Each structure stands twice: as C-alpha cells, then as structure tokens.
Structure 1
Amino acid sequence: MTVKEFKLPDVGEGVAEGELVSWLVAPGDRVEEDQPVAEVETDKALVEVPSSYDGTVEELFVEEGEMVPVGDVIISFRVDEDGEAGAAAGDDAETDAESEPDSAATDESEPQPDAADDAADAESAEPETPDGRTFAPPSARRIARELGVDVAAVDGSGPGGRVSEADVRAHAEGDAGSAGSGDAGDGPEPRPAPTPTDAGSGERKSAVSKRGADGSADAASATPAGGPEPAGRETTLATPATRKVARERGVDLDDVPTDETRDGEAFVTAEAVEAYADALESAAESTPEPEPVDVDTGAEPAATDAASATASADPADGDETVPYRGVRRTIGKQMERSKFTAPHVTHHDTAEVDALVEARETLKPTAEAEGVKLTYMPFVMKAIVAGLKEYPYLNSELREDDEEIVLKGNYNLGIAVATDAGLMVPVVEDVDEKGLFELADEVNDLAARARERKLKPAEMKGGTFSITNFGAIGGEYATPIINYPETAILGLGAIEERPVVREGADGESAVVPVPTLPLSLSIDHRVVDGAIAAEFANTVMEHLENPLLLLNE
C-alpha cells in the first residue's frame, strides 16, 4: 500500500488558483478514479475535481473556503499496489517520499530530523488518540508544513488534543513551553521585536502583530526611510498560509519583492514575506524619532493620526465583510478593463412589438408540444443576427497591438445570466444556423446550468456580441458595459404596454396602449460610429416589429 498525494490540477485555461468551495468526500471514504472529490471555484466557473486514483481518502489538506494555487497538494489517498485500496491504517506499508510524516498511522514513527533535539518533548506533547494519530484540521497541517513543524510534536489545546493553527504557531515561535523555549513554567510574554524560532523552523522569524497593544499601526505597515523598495504589483499569487503571515506582519503581498513565478504571475513565499517585514522593521528602528510638535500650533501628534487612520479602516459594528474573489472578482476586473479601455456610447430606442407578442403566442403551443419553453429571446437573437449581417462592425474585435479590426465571420451571442455568484455569460454559437425552437432550448439549458454553477469554461468563450435582459427583473433603459473585447452589447428592457400614438382607420391619430420593448445598445466608439449604431438598432427593431422577416434568418 502506498499513500498518494493529489495536487490541484489545472481546472481551466489560464487559471492559477481556485477556492475550494466544498469537499465531496471525507477521510476514510472509498473513491474510484474520476469520481469527484471536491468543488473548486475559479475566476471562471465552479468545477468538480475528479480523483486520479482508486483508493481510500487518507487526509484532506485544505479547508473549505481556502484559496489554493494550482499544483498544491489538496488530498491524499491510500492506494494498494495490487489495485486493492483501503487497507487498514495500521498495516505495515510504505508511503511515497512526498507523503507527510504525520500521515503514517502507527505509534512507531520516528521523529523528524528537524525535531530531533526535542524528541522527548514531542513524545510527551503528542495527544493520545485511539490510533496514535494527531488530530489537526487541514489548515493547521498546512501551516505546520509552511513553518517546518512536525504536527505530531505540537501540544493541542482543542477537545481531545485537537491541534489548532494557534497551537502550531505557538510551537514554532517557542511559546507556551514548546521545544526550545525557556522554563516550561513561564507563560508567554509579549516581545517587542521578532526573534528566531527554534528547531524545525529554519531561518523563519516569529510573526508579530500588525498592531501594537495600544492599537497604533505597526512600523511594517508603511515604508520607512532607507527601507526596501516595494514592488507595487497588481497581482500576486501566494498560498493561504503565506497570505495569513502577510496579514499578521502588516505587509502588502503586492509590495513583497520576488523572482518566483507561477503561470506567468509573481509568486511570493512566506520566507519572502518575513524577510521583507524584517527589513521594514529594521529600517523603522534606525529611523530617528520625529521631534515632538507643540500642540499650540494646531498640529496633531503623528500617533493620533495613525490611530485615526487605523480606526477608519476597521469595519464598523454590524458590518459584514465578504471575500472579493472567484467569479465576483473576475466580473469586477472585466468590467473595469472594459469601461476604462473602450469609450462607451449607449443608444436608446423602443420597438413596438405587438406583432411579436402575437407571433410568440401563436407558436407557444407548438413549442410546448416539442417540450420547449419559448421566450422572446430567440426572436431577439435572430433580429440581432440580421442587424449584424448588415452592419458587421458591431460583430467585430479591435486588436490594438496589431492595429486592426477583425470582422467576425461567426455569430456567437453571449446571453448574460444572473446567478448567486454574479453575472455569467454563456455563449450560443452559430445563431444564424439554428431555428427558433433550437435556440430556445439551448438558451434555457445554458441559463439553468449557469445558475447551478455547472457551466464549463469553454461554454463562456468565443462570443462576438452579447445580450443582457435587465427587463426580466424590472426596468426600461440602462447603459450596459461591453463584454470586452467585443464591440457592442444590447440591453433589453421589460415588454410592457405603454402609450403609443397610432393612426386609426379613419385617418385620425390616437394614443393607444401597445406592447413595447425598450432597447439600450452600448458600443465601442473607437470602432462603431453613433450613426451606424442607430442604423443597426433600426434594423433590429424592424425585424422585431415584423416577425415574418425573421423567417429569412
């Protein structure tokens, strides 16, 4: 029997990390190859991660809600070399060289070299469990690996000797009587500056609080004179444990210098964070204290300003903080990129769609007989294709680096769908080659799977023009943001009866209630002129107001 470690695979093109939303298995569960073991949310979609082995779940290394870089170990399996998995935990078996030392389920495991000096303490500190193993959640084990600590040597403070993250850090820092500390009877004492940790931590330094006891900002929160130059990146990859170290040291990960990369993005380790924080503190200690300011001059002491800034940054009572990541972060970045790249202009108009309403009502029984729910969306899609064929610059992409506009030959329409995680835009390909019922069925399927977070990343790529239906929620007009690098997006208001002036049979004009559809067309003004946008909208409205024209599409 061997213990196989399973790393988070590349779950989508260009994805460097993901949030482990939920585990679908637990330690001791029997799994088969290709069986989903976890759900991971990337910046593109929610995907299921399948197992690569037939075996029994040995250990989970990541807690739900943690961000995990691609390539990090998330789970291990017990796999029998003869193909029979699930041998007893106490069997005499070999493990892979990469497996964790604390994953061996025997009392005979030898102490690790980095804890050899404290073997006696480790034996006495190990919680007594029925099978001789140490109880610790994945987050505590991850931090133990980061800090070079043998989790079996940590004295757990939780129920039944369960080891927490705080226990691991206390052990690494030499507090509370852990290996290498002073008198076991001495309690932990606050230290004004970091000191080297003891065995098992290498050259790492102990973490210090971001704020002092008086609530003032730590010296590491700003760059003092003579300190290291911050990198000032926009994006940085790091493990959850490293991010936690950065928070504790008051360091911005984007400022930490690094030469390491993952998938083309800067990657920062906990050691780099510690070294950067230490350098900041050293520079701060060597910076002379500012002269006291006479209060009569009206200037407030610097410490007061720092405390005020700190207080204003903290959440107020009753506030709730929500992680800005995954799909929501991707939406935000995409909207920002589009809005600040493409100069937006929005054209508004209204189509009188009483004939469209009548056509849909006529076709609904036939659609239902074929098991299709017919909405207005397929009619709108066909009308848009008619407009795109006549005005191809709205079905294009501007490639600035190449200084060229690509007029797309396919008509792949993205349909914005509101989900609990944010707006997702699945793409219906080759709309010009499909009938109304086929489009209705495909749109309904994509929308349902988008709300269930079951879309594949490939199903949200390749769009040439997008549609957003804010009228389904309520509203008439809006200024939709283009799904960059596309050059246009059409927003649909609610179809409602509104007053319209029409000429009667007697030649007299009258105001009558007519179903109308408000349209909001946003364009990239670098590619499309306002006059072209208006002509495109007129073509779309003509086909919506005369549905028989859609038979040609």
Structure 2
Amino acid sequence: MTAVEQRFREFKMPDVGEGLTEAEILKWFVAPGDTVTDGQVVCEVETAKAAVELPIPFDGVVHELRFDEGTTVDVGTPIISVDTNPGAGEAAPQAAPAAEAPAAEKPAAAEPEEKEGRQANLVGYGAAPASTKRRPRKPLPGLQRSAPAPSAGAPAPQEPAPAPARPEAAPSPASSPALNGSGRTARPLAKPPVRKLAKDLGIDLETVTPSGADGIITREDVHAAAEAVQAARETPVAAPSAAVTAVAGRERRVPVKGVRKATAQAMVHSAFTAPHVTEFVTVDVTRTMKLVADLKQDPELAGLRVNPLLLVAKALLVAIRRNPDINATWDEDNQEIVYKDYVNLGIAAATPRGLIVPNIKDAHAKTLPELASALGELVTTAREGKTTPAAMSGGTITITNVGVFGIDAGTPIINPGESAILAFGAVKLQPWVHKGEVKPRQVTTLALSFDHRLVDGELGSKVLADVAAVLERPKRLMTWA
C-alpha cells in the first residue's frame, strides 16, 4: 500500500442487509474538513428494508463526500474519503485523475469529462476523480472538494487550449449554454437543491433555460419547465395557452424507491405466488378488554405498553403452540415445506417511508411482560424510522392491526417467506347475545390469510378459532399454555 493509499482512506457503501445491492443517502452528518473518529455516524442511508445510520471505521479529517443527499449508490462504491494524517500537509489522494494513468492510456470518452471539469463556476465543479473500475463520474454538485495537487514526479496536466475567437459576439450565459474547451456543451449550472428538485420532478437540466446570474438555473426555472412538460401531457396541441395554465400543478410524481419500492415488489410477488385464502371470525372480546384494564394496573407491567394488541399477540402464540404446522414456509427451489420450531412474530407498522414488518425474535419463549417490552420497543423504533434490516429478517408469522384505523376487517397479503398473517380489526361496542340476552358487548373481527399450498382449510380454521377462543375467554391463556 502506497503512502497516499495509507493516508487517504475510502469508506465504501456496505451491504447493511441481506444481499442488498444499493442504498440511498438520506442525510450527511459531516462535511469536508470535519474531524471524525472510529465508530462515528457519518450518514444515514435508506435501503430496500429500512433507514440505517453508517459509522465510519477509522479516524481522520473528511476530505471528500462523493455523493449528494438523495443519491442512490451501489453497494461497494466509495462514498466518503478521509485524510487519516491531516498534519502531513498537502497531498494528492490516490483517486486524483492526473496521477491515474498516462494520457495515452486513458479512454477517449474520459477526455471531455476532464475538460468539462475545469470549469469551476460553482463550488463543487472542480475536476472529478476517475476510477479504473467504473466509468468516469461527472462532478457531483454541492459537495466541497479540495483541488488535488499533482503527485511527485507526475507531469502537470495541460490546460486545454482556448477555443478560437469567433467574429460574432459571444452570447450571454443566460441565453445559451456554456461551452467547454472542446466546444461541447458544458454541464448545466445549478445548485444542489435545484439539481435535486429537477431530479424529483423528472426534468432534464439540459432542456432548462437558465435565468440566474452567470447562467445558473434557479428553482423557478425548474418549476416553469415542469409546468410546461405537464401542460404538454394534459393539453391538446391545439388548445389555447390559457388552458395550459389552468391544468398546471394538479398532479405530483414521487419516485418509487427504498422501503416503498421493496414493499410493492414483495406484495406483488406474494399475491401472485402464494394462493391466498382468508377466513373471518367475529368474537366477543369484552373479557379481554377488562383484562387489559386490569393489567395496566399491575406493578409487574408498570411502564410497559399494555393494550389489546398485546393479548392478541399472546393468543396467536398460544394458537401456534396448539397448531405448530401453521408456523412454516414454502421452499420453492427445493420443493419442501420448512416447519419452524420458533416464532419470530412480525408486527406490521406504517411509517412515513412505507409499510415495514419488524419481528420479535423468539416471541414464543417470552413471558407476558417480556412480550410487552419487546412490542413497545418495536413500535417506538419503527415510528422513529430506526428499524434495522436485521429486525425485519427471519419473520415466521405476522399480525397487522388495522383496527387502529377504525377498520373492521380486511384480506391481508402474506409477508413473503411466511405462511399466514392475522388482521386484528377495530373493537366496537355492539349488540350481542350474551347468556341468552341481547346486551352491548365489546366485539371485534379477526381475519386470517394463509398460504393454501401448505396450510389447508382445517389447519387455518383451527388456528383462527383458537385465537378467537382465547380472546373470548382470556383465562385460556393459562389453561392452554
């Protein structure tokens, strides 16, 4: 390893999940020039499973951030470089283009990038570092970079010869795109927030006419271009200009990525791979609701989350113990049914980033206080957006609590890799025949969806009936357990 390699160390995007191939940088917590220490969190990324904070594994001073916030980066790609010996003075990091290879060995396609990179009109428009393994990257907007000095013994890079003067007057930057040394159109100038806005709206900055000083594209320019594109889509060619203004801004387009994209793919795969069957049962849970009220006063459960979902989870675990074959998965590749002797109980949680299903590991072995504690931690972590990929891996069966939204029942889609999912509906006061008389009782509806390849109607019905029986008479938690 050379002295430069030892000094400037790169931190690559890790695989923070099980076989994930990419992640989006949500937020940087450091900037060039900041001092970092081993284990310090430098950024937050979103994978197809969750948002994860990444700690850096060495000490030093941040030299370069390779990507903007909002950029999706492949696993294994360097995202930040750190100067581990900042007291040694100026030095060129290994990735500097001038020291990469002799000019004759560089591919011709890289030459326009080098020339274009010398137009330093905005911060971050310096020469971009090249790579021998990936195609040359364009300079990244909005990230402060230090200009790398030439390595010792390496010839200084030659500045491109100025373009010959033309007889006519040069157009102003605001009216025409800038040209680089090769006479080609340079990269449009825009600040990072404007560039991200254009990306989110699907606008190519090459097509936007700049109105800012020195030919810089503004937010207003991007919005105007987006409205023009939208109007062109919705308005007939012969429509008058007044109609174009009337329909502008009536739709929003949001890229499908991260957790929401992964969830969509998983649900489609599950719905069209596993033959779903859903059964329903309506049950009187008055006794369960009274037990919940009593448990909230129990010193053993003080400070823990005690609610009807806790007893539904315990009822399902009892039903699985009585009917263990429900806790299984279908192995398509080996044409086998894999029966699980443990229960990792998934709880579906709605978050701003989409639906996630973290699970409580070995829920079958937990006491009621332990289950309440684990359930509380799971919900709190999910709401804070800090659920890890490991917490969402290895689930065996899931509960979705649609009742919190006032919904009576539904036909939930099975979480991939599992055999069943239980939907818990809203608990409502309803007229109910109790001991031969119609009385107001607390009533709810349960719905169990199961994979009919490995769970037949008898097994699915037994599990659902057992859950209902426990909730109707919760003393069965003791007699059946």
Among candidates 434, 437, 446, match of residue 366 of structure 2: 434
Structure 1 CA distance for aligned equivalents of residues 343 and 89 of structure 2: 62
The 3 A distance-change label for structure 1 pair 438 and 148 is: closer
- Give the root-mean-square deviation of aligned CA atoms: 4.5
**Residues 396-545 of structure 1 aligned to structure 2 (within 5 Å):** 396-503=328-435, 509-545=436-472
The 3 A distance-change label for structure 1 pair 331 and 313 is: farther
Q: For residues 109-144 of structure 1, what are the alpha-carbon distances to aligned partners after superposition, in whole Å with 9 as ceiling and x for unaligned?
A: x999979999xx9999656xxxxxx72169x94899
**Residues 361-400 of structure 1 aligned to structure 2 (within 5 Å):** 361-367=293-299, 370-400=302-332
The 3 A distance-change label for structure 1 pair 316 and 72 is: farther
8 A contact 2:96–2:130 mirrored in 1:
no
Q: For residues 452-507 of structure 1, what are the alpha-carbon distances to aligned partners after superposition, in whole Å with 9 as ceiling and x for unaligned?
A: 1212211111111110001012110111000122111000001121111223xxxx
Structure 1 CA distance for aligned equivalents of residues 131 and 375 of structure 2: 48
Shift of 1:151: 6.5
Question: Which amino acid is 2:19 matched to?
Answer: G
8 A contact 1:349–1:537 mirrored in 2:
yes
Question: Which amino acid is 1:512 matched to?
Answer: K
Q: Does 1:53 align with 2:58?
A: yes
The 3 A distance-change label for structure 1 pair 183 and 410 is: same
Structure 1 CA distance for aligned equivalents of residues 381 and 92 of structure 2: 41
Aligned partner of 2:124 in structure 1 is 136
8 A contact 2:48–2:258 mirrored in 1:
yes
Structure 1 CA distance for aligned equivalents of residues 45 and 138 of structure 2: 28
Q: TM-score, normalised by structure 2?
A: 0.72
Structure 2 CA distance for aligned equivalents of residues 100 and 51 of structure 1: 25
Q: For residues 309-350 of structure 1, what are the alpha-carbon distances to aligned partners after superposition, in whole Å with 9 as ceiling and x for unaligned?
A: x83699963322112000000100010000010111211111
Question: Which amino acid is 2:474 matched to?
Answer: P
8 A contact 1:394–1:528 mirrored in 2:
yes
The 3 A distance-change label for structure 1 pair 472 and 368 is: farther
Q: Does 1:23 align with 2:28?
A: yes
The 3 A distance-change label for structure 1 pair 454 and 179 is: farther
**Residues 72-221 of structure 1 aligned to structure 2 (within 5 Å):** 72-80=77-85, 86-87=86-87, 92-99=89-96, 135-136=123-124, 141=128, 183=165
Structure 2 CA distance for aligned equivalents of residues 117 and 398 of structure 1: 53
Structure 2 CA distance for aligned equivalents of residues 117 and 374 of structure 1: 65
Question: Which amino acid is 1:538 matched to?
Answer: A
The 3 A distance-change label for structure 1 pair 317 and 342 is: same
Aligned partner of 1:319 in structure 2 is 251
Question: Which amino acid is 1:463 matched to?
Answer: G
Question: Which amino acid is 2:18 matched to?
Answer: E
Question: Which amino acid is 2:369 matched to?
Answer: F
Q: For residues 198-223 of structure 1, what are the alpha-carbon distances to aligned partners after superposition, in whole Å with 9 as ceiling and x for unaligned?
A: 86x9xxx9899xxxxxxxxxxxxxxx
8 A contact 2:129–2:136 mirrored in 1:
no
The 3 A distance-change label for structure 1 pair 312 and 135 is: same
8 A contact 1:61–1:142 mirrored in 2:
no
Q: TM-score, normalised by structure 1?
A: 0.63
Shift of 1:530: 2.5
Question: Which amino acid is 1:464 matched to?
Answer: T
Among candidates 242, 246, 260, match of residue 328 of structure 1: 260
Among candidates 350, 357, 366, match of residue 289 of structure 2: 357
Count of residue pairs the alignment pairs up: 405
Aligned partner of 1:277 in structure 2 is none
8 A contact 1:19–1:67 mirrored in 2:
yes
Question: Which amino acid is 1:550 matched to?
Answer: L
Of structures 1 and 2, the one scoring higher in RCO (CA 8 A, sep 6+) is 2
Secondary structure in 1 aligned to 2:410? coil
8 A contact 2:117–2:128 mirrored in 1:
no
Q: Does 1:3 align with 2:8?
A: yes
Structure 2 CA distance for aligned equivalents of residues 422 and 400 of structure 1: 28
Question: Which amino acid is 1:95 matched to?
Answer: A
Structure 1 CA distance for aligned equivalents of residues 464 and 135 of structure 2: 62
8 A contact 1:112–1:150 mirrored in 2:
no
Structure 2 CA distance for aligned equivalents of residues 499 and 328 of structure 1: 40
8 A contact 1:61–1:141 mirrored in 2:
no
Question: Which amino acid is 1:311 matched to?
Answer: R
Q: For residues 398-429 of structure 1, what are the alpha-carbon distances to aligned partners after superposition, in whole Å with 9 as ceiling and x for unaligned?
A: 11232221221112211111111111111112
8 A contact 1:335–1:481 mirrored in 2:
yes
8 A contact 1:379–1:550 mirrored in 2:
no
Secondary structure in 1 aligned to 2:298? helix
8 A contact 2:117–2:139 mirrored in 1:
no
8 A contact 1:144–1:151 mirrored in 2:
no
8 A contact 2:320–2:326 mirrored in 1:
yes
Unpaired stretches in structure 2, ≥5 consecutive residues: 148-159, 172-179, 188-195, 206-228, 237-246
Among candidates 67, 74, 78, match of residue 62 of structure 1: 67
Shift of 1:430: 2.1
Secondary structure in 2 aligned to 1:338? helix
The 3 A distance-change label for structure 1 pair 32 and 472 is: same
The 3 A distance-change label for structure 1 pair 380 and 47 is: same
Shift of 1:390: 2.7
Question: Which amino acid is 2:275 matched to?
Answer: P
Structure 2 CA distance for aligned equivalents of residues 340 and 527 of structure 1: 16
Question: Which amino acid is 2:328 matched to?
Answer: S
Secondary structure in 1 aligned to 2:476? helix
The 3 A distance-change label for structure 1 pair 327 and 151 is: closer
Question: Which amino acid is 1:48 matched to?
Answer: E
Structure 2 CA distance for aligned equivalents of residues 341 and 124 of structure 1: 53
Shift of 1:181: 5.4
Q: Does 1:337 align with 2:269?
A: yes
Q: Percent identity?
A: 36
Structure 2 CA distance for aligned equivalents of residues 361 and 143 of structure 1: 65
Shift of 1:362: 1.5
Structure 1 CA distance for aligned equivalents of residues 413 and 389 of structure 2: 21
Aligned partner of 2:152 in structure 1 is none
The 3 A distance-change label for structure 1 pair 390 and 23 is: same
Secondary structure in 2 aligned to 1:62? coil
